[in-house]
Structure 1
Amino acid sequence: MVSPTFYLFKPLSDIDDQDGLRVRVPMIHIYKKQASMAEKDPVQVIRQALSQTLVFYYPFVGRLREEPHRKLMVDCTGEGAMFVEADADVTLDQFGDSLQPPFPCFHELLYYVSASQQITNTTLLLLQVLEL
């Protein structure tokens, strides 16, 4: 069972509120499936872990709001993170031995969510689990 989160407003510091930082930063992390997890669905494992963990990091499940004078704050609404499950028709072996940046096909692997392109009034955290 998921616990409720706090509802409050958290203004960003002047450092975090700079115009140059109002961007989304896509990242990719690759983990090989472990033999001990063979019977478990990685998507469900990650979804369950996030639902339990984000209770303690409740600002991530809120929304970024812009107040007067362009001041940003996190509206801790508890609305949740965006979670996308995807499948790819490739294997890790097709990427070669070195899985270092620049990662091949980076943008082709990420699912495009139009609502996540704006910075304010949308989820702060978008996670995608991709099974190869």
Structure 2
Amino acid sequence: MHRTTVLPKDWWDVAAEAPVGNAVGQDVGALRAEIDQLRRALAGRAVIDQAGGMVMVLAPCRRGVARNLLVDMARQCNTKLPDVAVAMVAAWEGEPLSRLMQQALRHALRRLYAEDRGCDSSPAVEPSGRGRS
């Protein structure tokens, strides 16, 4: 026999009431804060994945490389990764990137292309004793 359980749409919003002064009330408050943090993280994850997909299309690369490019941009701009992702998605839709993010994107792309070409490694020495030209 097959059973199906149907949950109400807002089943996670169940309110648990407890006196504020005791340990149960503190636990409930901590759990609510954790749930809010997880919801924000999931929402941020979606936009990060979207921005990563855009980078994968624009600079043909794998998912990990695209995410590293976004992380590099966030580090250069001294901002959080979800904020960079939101700016990238907005730029895709016509909103211009800030000058700082444009510079960070150019720098990250140059680094990506240099690594792809092997420019970050030392020149190989040919058997004749001369380096590559």
Q: What range describes the TM-score normalised by the shorter chain of this pair?
A: under 0.3
Q: TM-score, normalised by structure 1?
A: 0.22
- With a CA cutoff of 8 Å and minimum separation of 6, indicate the structure with the bigger relative contact order: 1
User: Per residue, is there more strand in 1 or in 2?
Assistant: 1
